Chains A and B, each alone.
Chain A
Amino acid sequence: MTRFIIPLGIFLVLIAFLAIGLNRDPREVPSPLINKPAPAFSLPQLKDPSKTFSAEDMRGKVWLLNVWASWCISCRDEHPFLFEYAKTGAVPIYGLNYRDKRDDALAWLSELGDPYVLSVSDTDARVGINYGVYGAPESYLIDRNGVIRFKQIGPITPDVWEKTIVPLAKELNK
Chain B
Amino acid sequence: MKYVLVQLLLVFAFAVTVPAQQAKPLSDDPELDKRLMNLAKELRCLVCQNETLADSQADLAQDLRAQIREQMKAGKTDKEIITYLTDRYGQFVLYRPPVEPSTYLLWFGPFIFLLAGLFVLFRYVKQRRQLIPESSLTVEQRRRVDEILKEREKPA
Contact = CB atoms under 8 A, between A and B. Distances in A.
Interface stretch (A27-35, A47-55, A89-97, A102-110): A27-35
Nearest to B44: A29
Contacts of B92: 29-30
A130 interface: yes
Nearest to A6: B120
Contacts of B91: 32
Interface residues of A, number: 18
A132 B59 contact: no
Nearest to B88: A132
A135 interface: yes
Contacts of A32: 86-91
Contact of B88 (A26, A124, A129): A129
A67 B36 CA distance: 28
Interface in B80-109: 86-92
Nearest to B89: A132
Interface of A is mostly: loop
Contacts of A27: 49
Nearest to A71: B59
Contact of A30 (B59, B67, B88, B90): B90
B90 A132 contact: yes
Interface of B: 46-47, 49, 59-60, 63-64, 67, 86-92
Interface of A: 26-27, 29-33, 99, 124-126, 128-132, 134-135
23 contacts: A29-B89, A31-B89, A31-B90, A32-B86, A32-B87, A32-B88, A32-B89, A32-B90, A32-B91, A33-B87, A33-B88, A99-B59, A99-B63, A125-B60, A126-B67, A128-B63, A129-B63, A129-B88, A130-B88, A132-B90, A134-B46, A135-B46, A135-B47
Which 5 residue pairs spanning A and B have beta carbons closest together?
A: A134-B46, A132-B88, A32-B90, A29-B92, A125-B63
